[in-house]
Structure 1
Amino acid sequence: MALKVKLIEYTPNPERVIAAAAKLCYSASGIDEIAEKLTEENTEKFLNMLVSYGHESPIEHVSFTFAIEGVSRSLTHQLVRHRIASFSQQSQRYVKLKQFEYVIPDSVKADEEAKKIFIETMEKCQEAYNMLSDRLKEKYVNEGMTNSAAEKKAIEDARYVFPNACETKIVVTMNARSLMNFFRHRCCSRAQWEIRALASEMLKQVKLVAPVLFKYAGPSCLKGSCTEGKMSCGKINEMRKLYLDI
């Protein structure tokens, strides 16, 4: 299943909100007066200055919500490590997966024998899930449970046979500062390929609605030196071109 990312909601006029909040820190005026004086031109100028100074706390005032599909449980295990965020993920306890979708790595797709082994394994996982959920449901019904209660209890244990490749859906909300941190870590060439693809697509979409704010968002090497030390990919120029052109 292909990766699908959609920016479904965000703070209206995010760059204007940030500029107003940041200007308040340095002004004797009230927020109404500050907002009235904000034009598109001076908002952009102020945001560029703010970003160059590394003054990040004002950018926490705006948030972005993404609907994400076609990703693996392996990816979401990494994604939820970004703790200043909100996550709502499709539940395997409440949703019976009669035929689960799965993500196949490109390295496996490129090798016919490896792909065959992979798909056969996925099919065996589905068969095991079906047999376990049916067996456990029958057991619970015989013990006096209703059909719906028995099925829920059965699938919450049967799901243990599903692999990391199992496709999932998730809604994610992050404030802009958390997003910046997410991009620094997950757009890096050393990030795992699937979450790097997700981060790159998310970056493309937020740049459309807040181009000044996210102008230099991406891996840490975009604005400075690589932070990976000996583990560096050694491709700073290529990475800078890639992400500045998004």
Structure 2
Amino acid sequence: MPTPVTPTVRIIGRPHLDRDELNRYLTEVGAQGWASQRTHFNDAQDVVEVAGRTCYRSWAPRLNPNVTRVRNDSDEYLGNIVAHRHGSVMEHAQYTFILQDVSRVFTHEWVRHRQGVAISQESLRYVRLVDLPFWFPEWAQNDAELVRRGHDVLTALEEFQEWMADHFQLDAPGVSFHEKKAKTSFMRRFAPEGLATVLVWSANIRTIRHVIETRTDEGAEEEVRLVANQIGELMAIETPALFDDYVITDGGAWTTQHRKV
């Protein structure tokens, strides 16, 4: 019997600032006041702000003779970066996600976003299938006949996977890993594209914004929209100053007047 699953997103990596080294740098350039006046810390937002202020030496008035006035509030400063589409400084802040129980239908589309990302996917050349976990969207779950027939197909494919493993004697003593790999690679050809898998996905904030904007659009594929929305919700908590310009439509699309930052 196939295992029902739901695509899930987890953050497993986020930016970390070495504040001792940063403070040494700020002291050297006469900007130690920037650090001392801060009341809260957010490493992802702070690294973006550090990158932005470094570009103009805008830590305080007159450090750059051309700058007579600066924004002291970090949220206001970052909001101005978003509004003026200075997206390059967002590329310094990268997050790593586990996308669990996403289908290979999903991954075929998701890996089209390559700029500013790193991708590692569970390999079915090496990982032998036993069961075939599968996601049925809510509308499909409400169709009893569809679910029954789908389960029948998946159960037959699971049984065929088990039969092939036994037929090839993959668990017999002395079978080399090379042979197991070759047979496992063949066996995966009988797995459906809807099979649930795992993707490790790293992206910088500029790329994450772009992906959320394009992949929550009402014309995007259903599972892709589900995952993109989860990433958006997590990032709105992680870095609110860099995502609070979004409005979510009734259809679930994340929209902003600052597209393509």
Pairwise TM-score range, normalised by the shorter structure: 0.7 to 0.9
Q: 1:133 Cα deviation (Å)?
A: 3.6
Q: 2:87 is matched with which residue?
A: 56
User: Given the alignment of the two structures, is residue 109 of structure 1 paired with residue 141 of structure 2, yes or no?
Assistant: yes
Identity of aligned residues (%): 24
In structure 2, what residue type is equivalent to 1:14? A
Q: Distance in 2 between matches of 1:241 and 1:187?
A: 5
Aligned to 1:27: 57
Q: Tell me how far apart the structure 2 counterparts of residues 17 and 117 of structure 1 sit (CA, whole Å).
A: 52
With normalisation by structure 2, the TM-score equals: 0.74
Instruction: Give the equivalent residue in structure 2 for 1:120.
Output: 152
Question: For 2:250, which of 235, 238, 244 is the aligned residue?
Answer: 238
1:7/1:201 CA distance change after superposition, 3 Å: same
Once residues 23 and 45 of structure 1 are traced to their aligned partners in structure 2, the CA distance between those partners, rounded to angstroms, is 13
Aligned partners of 1:243, 1:2: CA distance in 2, in Å? 25
Contact 2:102 2:196 in 1 (8 A): yes
Q: CA RMSD in A?
A: 2.9
| 8 Å contact from structure 2 (residues 14, 94) kept in 1 | yes
Which amino acid letter does the alignment assign opposite residue 238 of structure 1?
A: D
In the alignment, the residues of structure 1 paired with residue 142 and residue 197 of structure 2 have an alpha-carbon distance, to the nearest angstrom, of: 23
Paired letter, 1:10: R
Give the letter for the 1:25 counterpart.
C
Q: Distance in 1 between matches of 2:209 and 2:77?
A: 18
Q: Secondary structure at the match of 1:238?
A: coil
Q: Which of 203, 210, 220 matches 2:239? A: 210
Using structure 1 for the length normalisation, give the TM-score.
0.78
Indicate the SS of the match to 1:54. Answer: coil
Aligned equivalent of 1:4: 8
Cα-to-partner distance string for 1:1-25 (whole Å, 9 max, x where unaligned): 1222111111131111111111222
How many residue pairs get matched? 217
Counterpart-to-counterpart distance in 1, 2:7 and 2:255: 19
Deviation at 1:67, TM superposition (A): 1.1
The 8 Å contact of residues 137 and 154 in structure 1, kept in 2 or not, is answered as: no
Letter in 1 for 2:188: R
Unaligned runs of 5+ in 1: 35-39, 223-235
Taking a change above 3 Å as real, the CA distance of residues 28 and 112 of structure 1, as seen in their structure-2 partners, is closer
- Deviation digits for residues 83-123 of structure 1 (CA, Å, limit 9, x no counterpart): 12111111111111211211123332111111111111111
Matched, 1:201 2:230: yes
Query: Of the candidates 186, 192, 205, which is equivalent to residue 215 of structure 2?
Result: 186
Q: Give 1:148 deviation, angstroms.
A: 3.5
CA positional deviation for 1:165: 1.3
- Secondary structure of the residue aligned to 1:164 is coil
Segments of 5+ residues of structure 2 without an aligned counterpart are: 17-42, 65-70, 257-261
Which structure has greater helix proportion?
A: 1
Distance 1:240 1:128 in 2: 39
